[in-house]
Amino acid sequence: MSILSPTGADGEALRDAALNLLRVRRGELIREFTAATIRVAIERGEVTADDVRPLVPIPPDISPKLVGCVFRDLADAGILRRDGFRNSTRPVAHSRPLSVWKLANAAGASAALAAITLPTF
């Protein structure tokens, strides 16, 4: 009996559970990244993780994997769509391929951005 799922469903379930946990525990930071991602997408028509990482600082004790949660949620909402790959320019990322996300729904992006409540200081 194989321990690997033939469909990858087990891996997807684990990923989805981890992303849900991030949404609960890091909601404020995810909202900040979501707003930054939408702003860049509206301004440029496309966005990568490299574009938004410098805009929202991630505390050292928090995994940067939460950025993937943002892109997945915006793609699931139909706001962004994957449009290829580009190598990262951040030295720490070692030139790994990043998804390039095209703005798929400008009206939806604007509405989503308007609905995001960010903390005021």
pLDDT above 90 (res 19): no
Residue 36, phi then psi, degrees to nearest 5: -65, -40
User: What's the CATH code of the domain at 111?
Assistant: 1.10.10
Q: Is the pLDDT of residue 34 over 60?
A: yes
Domains contained in the chain, number: 1
Residue 50 lies in a domain: yes
| Mean of pLDDT values over 71-95 | 95
In a domain, 121, yes or no: no
Tokens representing 99 are 């998804």
pTM score, two decimals? 0.84
Q: So what's the pLDDT on residue 1? A: 44
Domain interval for residue 56: 10-115
Q: Are 80 and 33 in contact (CB under 8 A)?
A: no
Q: Is residue 55 part of a domain?
A: yes
Residue at 22 is within a domain: yes
Grade residue 4 by pLDDT with cuts at 50, 70 and 90.
low
